[in-house]
Amino acid sequence: MEYQSMHTALQNIATQAQEVTNNLDAQLNQNMQNYIGEYLQQENAKVDNNAKETLTALREKAQRLLDDGMEAYQISLDKKYFADILPNHVGELEMISKSNLELNEIQAYFRKFKDNYPVLRRLEQIASDKGFVVIGKTYTNETDFLGSIKNTGQGVVNAILSGTSTRLTIALNLMEAKVSEYDRLESKETQVLQGI
């Protein structure tokens, strides 16, 4: 599941949670007009329990969606960056790791292997070991984004129990910002810069 799809699915669940809360408020107001005393307390408790059960079920659904989506994305990343490397590439990477490279040379290797993710993962490590800074779409950055998307998604999941519009909106906006940030990262070419 892509990050945008996950955000949309969590947004739909959050909307359902807001509807439950709005219906709860409306029903509690209706009860205030129809009941008094002990009957009011009983009716309010029944309505409140139903809303809590529904919100709990929505939260559990959102948690499964988030967990399954993150696990699937991690598996996808692992397949992408940990596929087998051809023997001639292994030899070339070994040569690169033992060479004293200039910035323009390491940049050329990144361009050469731009579509070979297992080689890029190893090349990122070599560049980093040699004091270069690698920015853009790399295994390290993708796993960092996976963690930050999971954290913001968890914020949405945790906000579902409250059902409050403000908390859910804030959590969804934070997640949307992270998804947009990932989209920008994904569209940029990986760059290598001279380290400080």
* 196 residues of the chain, pLDDT tens digit each: 689 999 999 999 999 999 999 999 999 999 889 988 898 899 999 999 999 999 999 999 999 999 999 999 999 999 999 999 999 999 999 999 999 999 999 999 999 999 999 999 999 999 999 999 999 889 999 999 999 999 999 999 999 988 788 999 999 999 999 999 998 888 888 889 987 7
User: According to the model, what pLDDT value does residue 116 have?
Assistant: 94
Question: What is the SS3 assignment for the chain?
Answer: CCHHHHHHHHHHHHHHHHHHHHHHHHHHHHHHHHCCHHHHHHHHHHHHHHHHHHHHHHHHHHHHHHHHHHHHHHHHHHHHHCCCCCHHHHHHHHHHHHCCCCHHHHHHHHHHCCCCHHHHHHHHHHHHHCCEEEECCCHHHHHHHHHHHHHHHHHHHHHHCCCCHHHHHHHHHHHHHHHHHHHHHHHCCCEEEECC
User: According to the model, what pLDDT value does residue 1 have?
Assistant: 64
pTM to 2 decimal places: 0.86
